[in-house]
Chains A and B, each alone.
Chain A
Amino acid sequence: QVQLVESGGGVVQPGGSLRLSCAASESTFSNYGMHWVRQAPGKGLEWVAFIRYNGDTKCYADSVKGRFTVSRDNSKSTLYLQMNSLRPEDTAVYYCAAMVVSATPPQFRSFWGQGSLVTVSS
C-alpha cells in the first residue's frame, strides 16, 4: 500500500500563508484521487479538499474555499495544499489521504499520512 508523508507544517501568524506537501512512496500515486482532511485540537475529522488523479477536478469545503488550493505533481508523487489568509480556526493537524473507490469488485481503500500540525497564532 502507498505510504504518505506530510511536511511543511508550523506556526504562522493570522493572515499568513503556508504550503503543505505530501510525498507518496510509489508511482501508483498518479492513479489515486487525493484528499486533505484536518483535525483541530480535541475535535473531529473535517474533510478539506480533493483533487482527481490527473488534477482536472478539485473541490473544497466551504470553510476553506477561496483561501486554500490543492495541487499535485505526479512526476514527483507529491500532493500540495497552499493555504492563504490563514485564520486561528485553521489550526489543526492536516492529513493527506488517498481514498480509492472501486466498482469492480466494490471496494474502498483509504491510506493516510501521519499528519502535519499547522498552528495559526500571533
Chain B
Amino acid sequence: EIVMTQSPVTLSVSPGERVTLSCRASQSVSGNLAWYQQKPGQAPRLLIYGASTRATGIPARFSGSGSGTEFTLTISSLQSEDFAVYYCQQYNSWPPMFTFGQGTKLEIK
C-alpha cells in the first residue's frame, strides 16, 4: 500500500495570502496525484488531477505541481471560501487502492 503524507497538518493564514501545501508518497506515483477540497458536511470536491491539471470549474488561483513522490498544491490568493481541509490522493496503484493523505486544514488567522 502506498502511504501518502501531507504537511503541515494545520495552517493558519490570512485572506489574500499565498499558501503552499505539501504531499509526499512512500513510493513513486508518477503524475497520478489528485487534490481535493472538503468543507464540513460535504463530500470532497476534486480540484486537481494529473498533479497539475485543474478539474472542470476550478479557479485559476489553484495550481499543482510535482511528480514521483513530491507534490504541492498552491493557492495564489486565499479567498474566504478556500478555508477548508485539503487532501491529496494517489491513483497510480494496481489493484487500485487509491490512498489519501491525512489532510491539511486551512484556518483563518
Task: Please give the residue numbers on chain A whose beta carbons come within 8 Å of chain B beta carbons, in ascending order.
Answer: 33, 35, 37, 44-47, 50, 57, 59, 61-62, 95, 99, 101, 106-110, 112-115
Contacts and interface: CB of A to CB of B under 8 A. Distances in A.
Given A57-B95, A99-B91, A47 B100 contact: yes
Contacts of A46: 100
A50 B96 contact: yes
Nearest to B102: A44
Contacts of A99: 91, 96, 98
A45 B44 contact: yes
Main secondary structure, interface of B, reads loop
Contacts of B28: none
Contacts of A114: 43
Contacts, number: 65
Contacts of B95: 50, 57, 59
B65 interface: no
Interface residues of B, number: 25
Given A44-B101, A99-B96, A107-B50, 12 more contacts: A33-B96, A35-B96, A44-B103, A47-B98, A50-B95, A59-B95, A59-B96, A95-B44, A99-B98, A101-B96, A107-B49, A110-B46
A115 B38 CA distance: 13
B98 A50 contact: yes
B91 A112 contact: no
